[in-house]
Structure 1
Amino acid sequence: MPDLVTLGPWLRRFLCEYIVTERNLARNTRSSYRDTFSLLLPFVSRKLRKPVDRLAVCDLTSRLVLQFLAHLEEGRGCSARTRNQRLAAIRAFARFIGSRDPAHVEWCGHIRAIASKKSMSPPVGWLTRAEMEAMLAVPDRKTRRGRSEYALLLFLYNTGARVSEATQLKVRDLRIGRGNGGHDLAALHGKGGKPRQCPLWPETERVLADEILGRSVDDAVFVSRLGTPFTRFGVYRLIERCAARVPELTDRTITPHVIRHTTACHLVLAGVDINTIRAWLGHVSISTTNIYAEIDLTQKANGVRVTIENGASPATIAAVIGALKAGS
């Protein structure tokens, strides 16, 4: 079967060349794309009773793609957001083929015409200051392992780093121990390798300085009890274990991203402007950061509600509303 017809060569070029060198997509995005086709190809193969290596581009019909998306939701229990992520990968692949082979333009159009499913954005989950402090109090700082876990948790809370940014942090990325009045900083490498710098609190600087003592500049900052760099799954397990020890967090799912949200929400409540928070978190678009502005509005609305419930006079209520408007 000619290469222009067989699905395999197109997929190899897409996954190994296009999204890596031409698009320079983030590592997690590339992994997501690969996972999509790891699920899609066996599904299509079973439906057509045809070996994966014999599948042609035209075998990947819009009807089969829709069946695959339904299988994700109904058979695998995936959310609409996950379904849309898988569809985005398939659309990108179709666009890749259609832009390089005119014979497949019509096929590309059919695939790209598949609509995304409307999904509600989940509410921003975050911890109060007391809950975050309770999490930080869980590791036993009398032991070496406990101090390392505390350093990782504190770093995540201080910087709002993504879990991948924390696990990839090297000793050379830290600018600490400056006694000349300079700021202690951590250089993070975000999506697509985009760098940014985050200031470190004195406490964070202190525990990190102890953590990297005797390490070379190319060593990872956060290592497990086995002496190997923390993995993203190791960070997830650490946070789940610490959250399980906090009674207030019972029945709540706490992840590294919840701590990232916590950092952003605490910055908002501290009066930090939204543009600074965008730079702090490494968001490309401020529209992504604007979800945290709702936290401040919610706090203000709760303030008005509590004032009313406490039986304040109309003059007091008017004064509170005026003060809140002035602070908006």
Structure 2
Amino acid sequence: MPELLTLGPWLRRFLCEHIVTERNLARNTGKSYRDTFSLLLPFISGKLRKPVDRLAVRDLTSRHVLQFLAHLEEERGCSARTRNQRLAAIRAFARFVASRDPAHVEWCGHIRAIAPKKSMPQPVGWLARAEMEAMLAVPDRKTARGRSEYALLLFLYNTGARVSEATQLKVGDLQIGRGNGGHDLAALHGKGGRTRQCPLWPETERVLASEIMGRAAEDAVFVSRLGKPFTRFGVYRLIERCAARVPELAGRTITPHIIRHTTACHLVLAGVDINTVRAWLGHVSISTTNIYAEIDLTLKARAVALCEIGQSKPGRSWKEDKDLMAFLKSL
């Protein structure tokens, strides 16, 4: 089969060259695209009873893509947002192929005609201050492992960092122990290669200084009991374990992103400007941060009180305002 018709070479160029060199997309985006085709190709291979390495570009039909998307939702239990994310990767690949080979323009049109499914935004889940403090009290700080777990939880709450930002944090990213009145800072490497600096509380600075003592600048800040850098799954398990020991959180699913939401919500409730919260969390658009304006009924009640209509006072008719009429006639 000619190389221009085989799916493999196109996919290799798309994943290794196009999204990395030409578009400079984030590494996590590349992994998401890779995972999409790791699921899609075996699915189509099974449908056509054809080896994966023999699949052609035109085997990726719109009908098969729709079947794959239905498979994600019905059999794998994925949400509409996950479905749309997988579809976005497939459409990006179709656009790439059509831009290089005009013979595939019609095929690309059929793929790109598949519409994303409308998904309803989930309500923001977050913890009250007492619940967050109860989680922070779970690790046994009398042990080295407990102190490490406490440092990680406190850092997530202080900075609102994404789990990937916390696991990738290096000792050299911390500016602590200045002792000259300056702010202690952590440099977080977020989505799209963007870096932001987040101030640290004195308590966070104290536990982190103890945690990184004697380590090199390239070492990870947060390490597991085996001395290896924490993985995202390790952080998830830690938070699940701590939440399970808080009676008030029984029956709730607590994730690292819930703690990120908690940081944002507590900042909003403290009266911090929403644009400052956006910079704190590393959002590109303020519209992403605006979801936190819906978090608390007290904020809504306060807004209603500011806009409440009082008793209207009887005013004079404009005809009775002799000074005004005299002024107008003088012009």
TM-score (norm 1): 0.92
Q: Match for residue 123 of structure 1?
A: 123
* SS in structure 1 at match of 2:130: helix
In the TM superposition, 1:46-65 aligns within 5 A as: 46-65=46-65
**Cα shift readout 1:64-84 (whole Å, capped 9, x = no counterpart):** 100110111111111111111
Task: Report the structure number with the largest CA radius of gyration.
Answer: 2
**Cα shift readout 1:185-239 (whole Å, capped 9, x = no counterpart):** 0000001221000000000000000000010111000000000100000000000
Alpha-carbon contact 1:128-1:262 (below 8 Å) kept: yes
Tell me how far 1:323 sits from its aligned partner. 4.5
* SS in structure 2 at match of 1:277: helix
Q: Match for residue 322 of structure 1?
A: 305
Question: Which moves more between the two structures, 25-34 or 235-244?
Answer: 25-34
1:9 corresponds to 2:9: yes
Tell me how far 1:27 sits from its aligned partner. 2.2
* SS in structure 2 at match of 1:140: coil
Q: Match for residue 290 of structure 1?
A: 290
Question: What letter corresponds to residue 42 of structure 2 in structure 1?
Answer: P
* SS in structure 2 at match of 1:186: strand
- Separation in 2 of the partners of 1:79 and 1:323? 39
Q: CA RMSD in A?
A: 1.5
Q: Match for residue 134 of structure 2?
A: 134
- Separation in 1 of the partners of 2:131 and 2:99? 51
Question: What letter corresponds to residue 31 of structure 1 in structure 2?
Answer: K
**Cα shift readout 1:245-271 (whole Å, capped 9, x = no counterpart):** 000111100000000000000000011
Tell me how far 1:111 sits from its aligned partner. 0.3
- Separation in 2 of the partners of 1:108 and 1:122? 32
Over 3 Å counting, the alpha-carbon distance change for 1:257 and 1:324 in structure 2 is farther
1:175 corresponds to 2:175: yes
**Cα shift readout 1:125-176 (whole Å, capped 9, x = no counterpart):** 1000000000000000000000000000000000000000000000000000
Alpha-carbon contact 1:300-1:324 (below 8 Å) kept: no
Alpha-carbon contact 1:169-1:220 (below 8 Å) kept: yes
Tell me how far 1:322 sits from its aligned partner. 3.1
Over 3 Å counting, the alpha-carbon distance change for 1:90 and 1:321 in structure 2 is closer
Tell me how far 1:51 sits from its aligned partner. 1.0
TM-score (norm 2): 0.91
- Separation in 2 of the partners of 1:231 and 1:273? 33
Alpha-carbon contact 1:157-1:259 (below 8 Å) kept: yes
Question: Which moves more between the two structures, 144-153 or 47-56?
Answer: 47-56
Tell me how far 1:299 sits from its aligned partner. 2.5
Report the identity percentage. Answer: 86
Q: Match for residue 190 of structure 1?
A: 190
Tell me how far 1:24 sits from its aligned partner. 2.1
Tell me how far 1:43 sits from its aligned partner. 0.7
* SS in structure 2 at match of 1:138: coil
1:258 corresponds to 2:241: no
Q: Match for residue 74 of structure 1?
A: 74
Question: What letter corresponds to residue 305 of structure 2 in structure 1?
Answer: G
- Separation in 1 of the partners of 2:31 and 2:236? 18
Q: Match for residue 313 of structure 2?
A: none
Tell me how far 1:14 sits from its aligned partner. 0.8
Tell me how far 1:321 sits from its aligned partner. 4.5
Question: Which moves more between the two structures, 29-38 or 238-247?
Answer: 29-38
Unmatched tracts of structure 1, length 5 or more = 305-319
In the TM superposition, 1:226-265 aligns within 5 A as: 226-265=226-265
Question: What letter corresponds to residue 239 of structure 1 in structure 2?
Answer: I
In the TM superposition, 1:38-53 aligns within 5 A as: 38-53=38-53
Alpha-carbon contact 1:61-1:111 (below 8 Å) kept: yes
- Separation in 1 of the partners of 2:128 and 2:22? 43
- Separation in 2 of the partners of 1:6 and 1:125? 46
Unmatched tracts of structure 2, length 5 or more = 309-331
What is the aligned residue count?
A: 309
